């Protein structure tokens, strides 16, 4: 049975394992290690405006979404920082259920928009498009490597 509940500190360990399994493989090929993954996810949960959810199926965590609310001049925004599903369980609708839960949460909280950032060359992009998210062409993600 699938259940979705708010993320607690007790979920961070299991979430970090799934996070590493999802991102340390193709197509991302990141190199997350346990301590950094835990710290990274805790940085989200430690925010006062954190909102996140974990999806269980038969008492096992299958995925999670880490988010936060932001004040914007047009009203409150819900920003999806991370969404990941156990790679062995992807394609079963868990990600869609997490997104739908976020949308229902926003309706209940009076939040007008959901925003996120993803790489348009990765499979996640098609996932978000399939769930009615649109690319906003006039925004640019900017990056600069700081050299020592």
Domain ranges in the chain? 2-130
Tell me the average pLDDT across 43-47: 96
| pLDDT score of 26 | 92
d(CA 21, CA 15): 10
Three-state SS for 32? coil
| pLDDT score of 123 | 81
pLDDT at 96 over 80: yes
Tell me the average pLDDT across 63-91: 94
Determine whether domain 2-130 maps to CATH 3.40.630.30: yes
What residues have CB less than 8 Å from 78, skipping those under 6 apart?
51, 67, 68, 69, 70, 102, 105, 106, 109, 111, 113, 114, 115
If one compares 61 and 125, the residue with the highest pLDDT of the two is 61
Q: For residue range 131-144, what is the model confidence (pLDDT) as tens digits?
A: 788 888 777 777 77
| pLDDT score of 44 | 97
What CA–CA distances, in Å, run from 41 to 32, 73, 139? Answer: 12, 28, 26
d(CA 83, CA 116): 10
Give the pTM: 0.89
Q: What is the CB neighbour count within 10 angstroms for residue 130?
A: 11
């Amino acid at each position: 049975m699938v259940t979705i509940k708010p993320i607690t500190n007790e979920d961070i360990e299991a979430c970090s394992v799934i996070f590493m399994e999802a991102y340390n493989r193709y197509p991302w090929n990141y190199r997350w290690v346990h301590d950094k993954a835990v710290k990274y996810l805790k940085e989200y949960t430690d925010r006062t405006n954190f909102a996140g959810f974990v999806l269980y199926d038969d008492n096992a965590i299958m995925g999670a979404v880490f988010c936060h609310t932001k004040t914007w001049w047009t009203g409150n925004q819900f920003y999806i920082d991370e969404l990941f599903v156990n790679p062995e369980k992807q394609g079963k609708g868990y990600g869609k259920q997490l997104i739908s839960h976020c949308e229902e949460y926003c309706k209940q909280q009076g939040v007008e928009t959901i925003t996120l950032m993803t790489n348009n060359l990765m499979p996640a992009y098609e996932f978000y498009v399939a769930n009615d998210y649109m690319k906003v062409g006039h925004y640019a993600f900017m990056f600069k490597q700081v050299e020592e």
